[in-house]
Amino acid sequence: MTDYDPDNPLDPAEEELMARLRNAAAELDPVPDHVLAAARAALSTRRLDEELAALVADSALADAGVRAADAEVRLLSFETADVSLELHVEYRGDAVAVRGLVTGAAGDAVVEVAGERHTALVDEGWFAVTGLPRGATRVRVGSIVTSWVQL
Amino acid sequence: MDVRSVLASAAAGDQAAWDILVDRYSSLLWSVARGFRLGSADAGDAVQLTWLKLVENLDRIQDPDRLAGWLATTVRRECLQLIRRNSRTRPMPDTGLPEVADTAPPVDDRLLRRERDTELWRTFAQLSESCQRLLRVLTAVPAPAYLEVAAALEMPIGSIGPTRQRCLSRLRQLVDATAALGAGEGERP
């Protein structure tokens, strides 16, 4: 492959090195097949009949996380125009526990993670799910669904 | 590729259109994540979350011409979050070096080349983190535009060319030094 940065030309030895590096990356660290397969399957998560609640606050971005005795806690807020959903996420080792508070939407809460669905009753806006695996997660209540977040 | 129409088809549920996007940009996303020296599992998580976010935003991408930049920015943020999380909860991830037996003698050109690649990959891991990050992204296939690299690494676009030059010349020094060392020893320890 020829060099594509005429303003900062490489000498031939460096150009050859770049080509070798490309080969090495392709040979030794290609995109794993299961990553490609998961990416292709991601389209099936699309829902046209649901409203997306965007992530508007994440304590993991704001600070180093709140530590309880032996767990780590993360607070997430999602919103649509009419609905707000707060998640209180607790990590204990590799297990995740979620407590949520939803206002403006009715129905059970369904937590989707790693191909699993966990349904929780919503009582006066509150719900809780424990023993979740870590991974890309979203929560659905009624016709709203949160943005995906890595828990 | 007309990104706008591919996005529109994918948004309407067209799996073939979606697959075009996955095939076109997976290498870029993987290269960004590996450039941050995430282990294979974390890199996979960061890439997958990026695709999931694209699915939910298929009809919200404002400027299809910037799709690659949007993807690169999204995966970088996921990587930084994972790094922050790992720094609190987990030991350092692996470097991505494959397990390759050093003792087996190369029997043909392909093996010879692979051994040479592996040697280069080891040397590459001695570069500074910022050099590894940049060069790893530049190895993506197809080669990313500087605009995409800038988005992926949050670098001023004007500094990419000079930095690439500096990093490659540093890598060459390391390769030469390793070769000189290897010539003196005859066998790697």
Residue A12 predicted with pLDDT over 80 = yes
Q: Is the ipTM of this complex over 0.90?
A: no
Write the class of the CATH domain B3-89.
Answer: mainly alpha
Among chain A residues, CA nearest to B44: A35
Distance from CA of B8 to the nearest CA of A (A): 13
Flag if B44 and A43 touch (Cβ within 8 Å): no
What is the rounded average pLDDT of the residues B137-157?
A: 92
In a domain, A13, yes or no: no
Flag if A21 and B13 touch (Cβ within 8 Å): no
In a domain, A143, yes or no: yes
Encode pLDDT of A62-112 as tens digits: 655 555 555 688 899 999 999 999 999 998 888 899 999 999 999 999 999
In a domain, A83, yes or no: yes
Among chain B residues, CA nearest to A6: B161
Flag if A147 and B162 touch (Cβ within 8 Å): no
Suggest the residue from B21, B123, B139 to mutate for an interface test with chain A (most A CBs closer than 10 A).
B139
Residue B14 pLDDT grade (very low, low, confident, very high; cuts 50, 70, 90): very high
In a domain, A6, yes or no: no
pTM (whole model) above 0.95: no
**Structural domain for A144, as ranges:** 49-150
In a domain, A36, yes or no: no
Domains in chain A, number: 1
In a domain, A104, yes or no: yes
Flag if B135 and A45 touch (Cβ within 8 Å): no
Parts of chain B belonging to CATH 1.10.10.10: 109-185
Encode pLDDT of B69-97 as tens digits: 999 999 999 999 888 877 766 544 454 55
Distance from CA of A121 to the nearest CA of B (A): 25
Of B45, B135, B138, the CB nearest to A150: B45
Of A23, A39, A149, the CB nearest to B117: A23
In a domain, A68, yes or no: yes
Q: Which fold has domain B109-185?
A: Arc Repressor Mutant, subunit A (1.10.10)
In a domain, A2, yes or no: no
Q: Does the bond joining B142 to the residue before it have cis omega, within 30 degrees of 0?
A: yes
Parts of chain B belonging to CATH 1.10.1740.10: 3-89
Print burial letters for B77-97: b (CB count within 10 Å at least 16), e (below 16).
bbbebbeebeeeeeeebeebe
Suggest the residue from B18, B52, B122, B170 to mutate for an interface test with chain A (most A CBs closer than 10 A).
B52
Distance from CA of A20 to the nearest CA of B (A): 7
Residue A2 pLDDT grade (very low, low, confident, very high; cuts 50, 70, 90): very low
Domain CATH code at residue A88? 2.60.40
Flag if A29 and B121 touch (Cβ within 8 Å): yes
